Structure 1
Amino acid sequence: MIAMGRAAVVREYNAPLEIVEYPVPEPEPGAIVVRIDTTTVCGSDVHGWEGAYEGVLPVELPLILGHEAVGVVVALGEGAERDSVGHPVRVGDRLVWAAESCGKCWACTVSKRTTLCPNRRLGMLASSAPPPHFTGMFAEYGYVWPKAGRLRVPDGIKSEWASVATCAVRTVVNAVELAGRIDYQHTVVVQGSGPVGLFATALISTHEPQRLIVVGAPDDRLAIARQWGADHTVSIVGSTPESRLSEVMEQTGGHGSDLTFEASGARGAIEEGLAMSARAGRYVLIGATGKGTQEISPHYIINRGLSVLGSFSGDIDSYYKAFRFLLANRDRFDFDAVIGETHGLDDVTGALEAMRSQSDIKPVIKPGLS
């Protein structure tokens, strides 16, 4: 084991990240230490950098952000020789891992919704000051907690794709499963054309709905949405909520959306999505995390008999299914279309700024890049 490793640390919100060296820990029983190979940047990382989770989730500075990564195993704790589906894990294998749920609360044991565990350890929100330090992934090393789900990355999946799968794709997998049946009978609207919205478009398109519409921006992302299965796209640039509603109604024959996925997090998106929803429709919220409130008109929910569902994250089963989706569709969708510029660890701030400005869909961080 190398004695020390570098990490890009948030000491102050909205300030440039600082490179800090920490001792690389030895893994406790059940834990794994990895060398970070590839990390991709998520909008949630930007929110964390901006301080949006203060007062919403347990968060404590200093932070190592980053929660989408592929690591190469460098040390295995006792009992960590297999992943969550029973595959052997050896030093040198590529690995992804999930947050650690407690396994002892109501959400874990009765509801079986481990992503809702109130004691869940979210590495990017945990202080990096105490050992094992490397809980976030904008770093040279990562620490996989003993009870965290983990999966070996299949050979047919690029590290960049696997990294994206650990957030955007697994989030979509979980949300689509929660939403229920999607088929030729249903009109579907996806609000948002960021990574979650685009992967939602791809996954939903494989269900062959009657009509699939994506509402978002900018134009280059809407072009990917069409390549990935959207029948029609609606730009939010130069349009109004009223004009977008009219366009969706026209595209659905005046019926509205049987199933709507909110994947944007934008102010006003929920009210707009409810207005687009058909009677007895389903509305799945994914993107509106963090601080802030939104005004909605409850009469849409009541008078139209809507089912409104919240979908948060995804556990290791969703990671596994995300990998199956990538492998099954790697010739159908150009997954490289969402992969952005590569940054070294010294330029994590630049990667976050690229994500915030939407100049890149998925900036990549390679800690080993000089």
Structure 2
Amino acid sequence: MSATAPATTGPVLADDVPATMRASVLLRQGEVEMQERPVPTPPPGEVLVRVRSVGVCGSDVHYYKEGRIGDFVVEQPLILGHEVSGVIAGVGEGVDPSRIGERVAVEPQRPCRTCRQCTTGHLNLCPDMKFYATPPIDGTFCDYVTAPAEFAFPIPDAISDHAGALLEPFSVGMWAVGKAGLAPGSRVLIAGAGPIGALTAIAARSYGATEIIVSDPVASRREQILGFGATSAVDPLDPGFDPAALGVDAFIECSGATPALLAGLKALRPGGTAVMVGLGAETMPIPVQEVMNKEIVLTGIFRYVDTWPKVIAAAQAPGVDLDALVTAEFPLEEAEAALTQVPGESSLKTIVVVSR
């Protein structure tokens, strides 16, 4: 809120906000039900967002199929979805009511802001983080959600509702290339030509990387990735492919496949950086001597920090078309079908359309 913004002493809602809303609820592993729930009231410092588009993430599918991801277990009914755009339909106390009607993309994190991680700039590592669609916190497969006002980022007309939802996975790619230390002129290898690989390639280009090599065993994906920032695509299963010959500055692993990680470590020049993004096996064999002898920096990422301004700017750059990643749409009533669809080789992102 600006210094001259009028103070509010209670929540202010748009005239058309109803008392109840639709919600697609994961009752338990493999079972989703449409429910009617009360529309939440925005607390002080927060906004009420009328949801328009929600991207389907692999984590949503995993919670639906497995009922858990590591230590995060679905033990009670849960609304899935965390890649979200919408329109501000109400504000809580202390938030400028002129924001009502503003199109926004919502950062799904809600850190405590007081722990050591938060106060030292590592809010993504907050041990008390509340994150949409991470048990027991409800997500965004519903008509309305609340969010901290400063995490509801205005988006221009040049960014569609669907592209606004994709700013969340784009943030993952942007955070990864930042961790990789990319700079103008960098050479990078990215493993995996799926949606995160594509968004990471776009992010790498925004950082000034001049050679962006993407590996994927699927031919159609290798062809497709050339439209999303990659300068070349290679088949890691090709007997003639020698990762050690690449000598790239950075390697970003987006597939979660152990062979991809091992090949990527070989592809690094001495002193290079490897960043693990894809969620694979809980443990992997690491060539320790190679890491030590080449002084490789090996790290992972967990969400992101302060990426929304970067991805909003990058999404508007010439030649960037986030909407081109959308290969399927489902209405909210068919959210379960969105979670259970069998993706084709060229499938990238699925969007649940909540409203238009």
- TM-score tier by shorter-chain length is 0.7 to 0.9
Instruction: Give 2:294's match in structure 1, choosing from 290, 293, 304.
Output: 304
How far did 1:54 drift? Answer: 4.2
Within-5 A mapping of 1:29-48: 29-48=44-63
Once the two structures are superposed, residues 153-212 of structure 1 have per-residue CA deviations (whole angstroms, 9 ceiling, x without a partner) of 22211111111012x21112222222224232x331001111111111122234454532
Instruction: Give 2:91's match in structure 1, choosing from 76, 95, 100.
Output: 76
Count of paired positions = 339
1:121 correspondence with 2:123: no
Helix, strand or coil at the partner of 2:79: coil
1:360 correspondence with 2:317: no
How far did 1:121 drift? Answer: 0.3
Where does the alignment leave 5 or more consecutive residues of structure 1 unmatched? Answer: 82-87, 129-134
How far did 1:31 drift? Answer: 1.9
How far did 1:53 drift? Answer: 4.1
Instruction: Give 1:12's match in structure 2, choosing from 25, 28, 53.
Output: 28
**2: CA distance, partners of 1:52 / 1:293:** 21
In structure 1, give the amino acid aligned to 2:277.
I
**2: CA distance, partners of 1:210 / 1:72:** 37
Q: 1:50 to 1:257 in 2, by over 3 A?
A: farther
Once the two structures are superposed, residues 92-137 of structure 1 have per-residue CA deviations (whole angstroms, 9 ceiling, x without a partner) of 2212222111111111112x11111111101201436xxxxxx301
Residue number in structure 1 paired with 2:198: 198
Checking the alignment, whether the CA contact within 8 Å between 2:190 and 2:214 is kept in structure 1 is yes
Helix, strand or coil at the partner of 2:335: helix
In structure 2, give the amino acid aligned to 1:326.
A
Helix, strand or coil at the partner of 1:49: helix
Residue number in structure 2 paired with 1:286: 277
**1: CA distance, partners of 2:291 / 2:67:** 28
Q: 1:334 to 1:120 in 2, by over 3 A?
A: same
Q: 1:90 to 1:183 in 2, by over 3 A?
A: closer
Once the two structures are superposed, residues 260-281 of structure 1 have per-residue CA deviations (whole angstroms, 9 ceiling, x without a partner) of 0111123433223222222211
Structure 1 window deviating more from structure 2 (200-209 vs 188-197): it is 200-209
1:164 correspondence with 2:173: no
In structure 1, give the amino acid aligned to 2:162.
E
Q: 1:341 to 1:181 in 2, by over 3 A?
A: closer
Identical pairs, percent: 29
Residue number in structure 1 paired with 2:231: 231
Checking the alignment, whether the CA contact within 8 Å between 2:47 and 2:149 is kept in structure 1 is no
How far did 1:323 drift? Answer: 0.4
How far did 1:357 drift? Answer: 5.9
Once the two structures are superposed, residues 33-88 of structure 1 have per-residue CA deviations (whole angstroms, 9 ceiling, x without a partner) of 2221111111222222233744434754311111111122221101122xxxxxx8
Checking the alignment, whether the CA contact within 8 Å between 1:5 and 1:24 is kept in structure 2 is yes
Once the two structures are superposed, residues 316-336 of structure 1 have per-residue CA deviations (whole angstroms, 9 ceiling, x without a partner) of x2012100001123xx13333
Measured on the aligned residues, the alpha-carbon RMSD in Å equals 2.4
Once the two structures are superposed, residues 302-353 of structure 1 have per-residue CA deviations (whole angstroms, 9 ceiling, x without a partner) of 12110112222123x2012100001123xx1333321122101121122123
**2: CA distance, partners of 1:205 / 1:244:** 27
Helix, strand or coil at the partner of 2:133: helix
Within-5 A mapping of 1:135-214: 135-144=138-147, 146=148, 149-166=151-168, 168-184=169-185, 186-214=186-214
Residue number in structure 2 paired with 1:3: 19
In structure 1, give the amino acid aligned to 2:350.
P
Checking the alignment, whether the CA contact within 8 Å between 1:215 and 1:234 is kept in structure 2 is yes
Checking the alignment, whether the CA contact within 8 Å between 1:339 and 1:361 is kept in structure 2 is yes
Q: 1:115 to 1:197 in 2, by over 3 A?
A: same
**1: CA distance, partners of 2:276 / 2:355:** 37
Instruction: Give 1:325's match in structure 2, choosing from 299, 314, 339.
Output: 314
**1: CA distance, partners of 2:52 / 2:307:** 22
**1: CA distance, partners of 2:50 / 2:326:** 21
Residue number in structure 2 paired with 1:84: none
Helix, strand or coil at the partner of 2:316: helix
Helix, strand or coil at the partner of 2:226: helix
1:341 correspondence with 2:328: yes
Residue number in structure 2 paired with 1:97: 106
